[in-house]
A and B are shown apart, each in its own frame.
Chain A
Amino acid sequence: MTRYKKQDPEITRRKFINVAMGTTAAVGTVSLVSALGTANPVFRLTPDKAPPVKGDVLVHASESKEGELIKVSDLSEQLVRAWPMGKDKDGNKVIRKGDPNNILALYRFPKGQIVEPTKLDVTVDGEIVAYSDICTHAGCSVADSDQGDGMKCPCHSGQYDPKRGCKVIGGPPPRPLAQLPIKLEGDQLVVTDFFASMPYPFLSETEWEKFKKEVEEQLA
Chain B
Amino acid sequence: MNQWLDDRLHISRLNDKFLRKAFPVHHSFFLGEITLFSLIVLIITGILLALAYEPSNSLVVNTFDPGTATKPNLVPAAYHSALKINAMPFGDMLRRTHHWMANIMVAAAVIHMMRIYFTGAFKKPREINWWIGMLLLIFSALTAVTGYILPYDNYAYNTVKVVYAITASIPWVGDWVAQAAFAGKFPGAGIIPRIYGYHIMLLPGILLALTGAHMLIMIKQKHTQPQYAKRLAYKKIVGVPLITQQTPIMLVLALLFTGLVMLFAAFVPVHPVEFFGPPSTTPINNIKPDWYLLWVFGALAIIPSFEWHLFGGLIGAEFVGALVLPGIVMALMFAVPMLDRTTENQYYAENPTNHPVRLAAGVAFFAMMIVMSVAGYKPELISSGLLTTGNANTILWILTLLVPAVSYFAVIGIVRGIRALREADERESLAHAHADD
Across the interface, do B187 and A100 meet the contact criterion of CB distance under 8 Å? Answer: yes
Interface residues of A in 123-166 (CB under 8 A from B): 133, 137-143, 146-147, 149, 152-157, 159
Q: Is B280 in contact with A99, judged by CB distance below 8 angstroms?
A: no
B394: Cβ under 8 A from any A Cβ: no
Question: Is B161 a contact of A168 with CB atoms below 8 Å?
Answer: no
Chain A residue at minimal CB-CB distance from B389: A170
The one of A41, A81, A146, A204 that contacts B184, using a Cβ cutoff of 8 Å? A41
Interface residues on A, range: 35 or more
> How many chain B residues touch A (Cβ–Cβ < 8 Å)?
44
**B158 touching A41 by the CB < 8 A rule?**
no
A114 at the interface (CB under 8 A from B): no
A-B contact pairs, 28 of them (CB 8 A): A39-B183, A41-B183, A41-B184, A41-B188, A63-B282, A100-B187, A103-B281, A133-B281, A137-B165, A137-B305, A138-B161, A138-B318, A139-B161, A141-B281, A142-B283, A143-B283, A149-B389, A154-B283, A154-B285, A154-B287, A155-B158, A155-B162, A156-B301, A159-B389, A170-B389, A173-B305, A174-B306, A203-B314
The answer to whether B285 and A168 touch across the interface, beta carbons within 8 angstroms, is no
- Determine the chain A residues whose CB is within 8 A of the CB of B329 once the complex forms: none
A61 within 8 A of B: yes
Interface of A (DSSP majority class): loop
Q: Which residues of A pack against B, CB within 8 Å?
A: 36-37, 39-41, 43, 61-63, 81, 99-100, 103, 133, 137-143, 146-147, 149, 152-157, 159, 168, 170-174, 201, 203-204
Q: Is the Cβ of A40 less than 8 Å from the Cβ of B180?
A: yes
Residues of B within 8 A of A155 (CB): 158, 162, 283, 287
In angstroms, Cα B52 to Cα A9, docked, is: 66
Q: Are B301 and A146 in contact (CB under 8 A)?
A: no
What is the CA–CA distance of A170 and B389 in the complex, to the nearest angstrom? 7
Known: A139-B161, A143-B285, A146-B383. 19 other contacts (CB 8 A): A37-B180, A41-B184, A43-B179, A62-B282, A81-B281, A81-B282, A100-B186, A154-B158, A154-B283, A155-B158, A155-B162, A157-B301, A168-B305, A170-B389, A172-B300, A172-B301, A172-B304, A174-B305, A201-B186
Q: Is A43 a contact of B184 with CB atoms below 8 Å?
A: yes
B301 closest partner in A (C-beta): A156
Please tell me if the beta carbons of B180 and A39 are within 8 angstroms of each other in the complex. Answer: yes
Contact with A along B156-193 (1 / 0, CB 8 A): 00100110111010000000100111011111101000
Q: Which A residues are CB-close (under 8 A) to B162? A: 138-140, 155
Task: Please determine whether B379 and A139 come into contact, CB atoms closer than 8 angstroms.
Answer: no
Q: Quick one: closest B residue to A139, CB to CB?
A: B165
| Cβ-closest chain B residue relative to A38 | B180
Let me know if B190 and A41 touch, CB within 8 A: yes
Return B285 CB to nearest CB of chain A, in Å: 5
Residue from the list B176, B317, B383 in contact with A174, Cβ < 8 A? B317
